Amino acid sequence: MLKKLQIKKHAMTAISYMLPLVVAAGLLIAIGNLMGGQVLTKFNGNYPIASVFTTLGVWGMGLLAPVIAAAVAYSIADRPGIAPGLLTGIISYNIGAGFLGGLVGGYVAGWVVAALVRYVKVPKWAEGLKPMMIVPLLSSLIMALVMFYVIGTPIVAATNALTNFLNSMQGSARFVFGGILGGMAAIDFGGPVNKVASLFADGMLLQGIQQPEAVKILASMVPPFGVTISWVLARVFKRRIYSKSEEDNIKIAFPMGIVMITEGVIPIAAVDFIRVAVSSALGAAVGGGLSMTWGIKSPVPSGGMFIVPAMNKPLLFCLALLIGSCVTGLVLFAWKRVVKPEDELAKVEEDEPEEDIDLSDLKIS
């Protein structure tokens, strides 16, 4: 039973299933919007290509609550959890509980199915019907009651309250919120804190609030760009703060940052975690605060610099990204210790493989 309660594991499974759909649907919306497309409401055979892309993307976003609910239920209860999970997500989408309702409902659906599979006993002649009819039907009936009467209402209220709160924020409140979200997204280079911030931003995107998504994208690129800026400054001012191996890693981290892969910074952070993590979080917090204050929105949850044209204010996004990256770069440049030759020599000797001892000529008399 303990395995069924591994909440983080099931959430990560669901996110891995959901992300391809989020990216595909988001990019379809972006491509369609750039081409001047609109969501189709009349289906009479006259379909502009741009509107087809936009419409499909919007429909895809509508599938996210069912997909994440089904994925969580599947992670908990295996295949019997898929049908009640999908139905739970459809309820969540239609009553307005959205992504959060799908996530919570998916857990409940998975646990209900697992309990039914384990504890419901049927006659021998009905055993073939249990996985195909009895468990899916009973679990779907239970989840209909749970979602409509227990989980749905408070989640809808909480979602609406959060949406109204974010929409009502002005000035310094927006900057603080963007700063906190940006710092969380950058501080552990794709780790659990980053996943919490990403999950929140993706959930808000499903509610039509696109500003947190822009902050998430910016914060994911600040660490590799900031580290690169600090290395360039170190070269210009002849202050060696990175070893040869770290410099080689930076040359890999920078292009990874362009496509929003923060993990390229991990080998650099492993050498000096506190300085790199704090500097990255500070830069991302400044950039994220500016992004929220300027009202930058991203309809696409991933893609790095390649999806910047789809944002409502691409030039301001680039400016916020540049400022945040410069903050990280300057802090790192000022804070990191200079690499001493003996330290690098020691590191090289430590990394050298031990020489094999040849005993072939040894004779014992």
pLDDT confidence of residue 345 = 53
User: 5: buried, middle or exposed (CB in 10 Å: 19+, 13-18, 0-12)?
Assistant: exposed
Question: Which has the minimum average pLDDT: 6-15, 93-102, 221-230?
Answer: 6-15
pLDDT confidence of residue 4 = 44
Report, as an integer, the average pLDDT of 333-345: 78
Question: Which has the minimum average pLDDT: 16-25, 59-68, 79-88, 173-182?
Answer: 16-25
Report, as an integer, the average pLDDT of 276-282: 94
pLDDT band at 302 (very low <50, low <70, confident <90, very high): confident
DSSP code at position 310: G
Please say if the pLDDT value at position 339 is more than 80: yes
3-class DSSP state of 291: helix
DSSP code at position 359: -
Please say if the pLDDT value at position 269 is more than 80: yes
User: In the chain, pLDDT over 70 holds for what percent of residues?
Assistant: 90
pLDDT confidence of residue 202 = 79
The two tokens of residue 11 are: 């959430």
Which residues, other chains included, contact 58 with Cβ-Cβ below 8 Å and sequence gap of 6+? 25, 29, 39
pTM of the model: 0.68
DSSP code at position 309: G
Please say if the pLDDT value at position 352 is more than 60: no
User: 193: buried, middle or exposed (CB in 10 Å: 19+, 13-18, 0-12)?
Assistant: middle
Number of H helices, E strands in the chain: 16, 0
Give 3-state DSSP helix, strand, coil % of the chain, rounded to 5: 80, 0, 20
pLDDT confidence of residue 356 = 54
3-class DSSP state of 314: helix
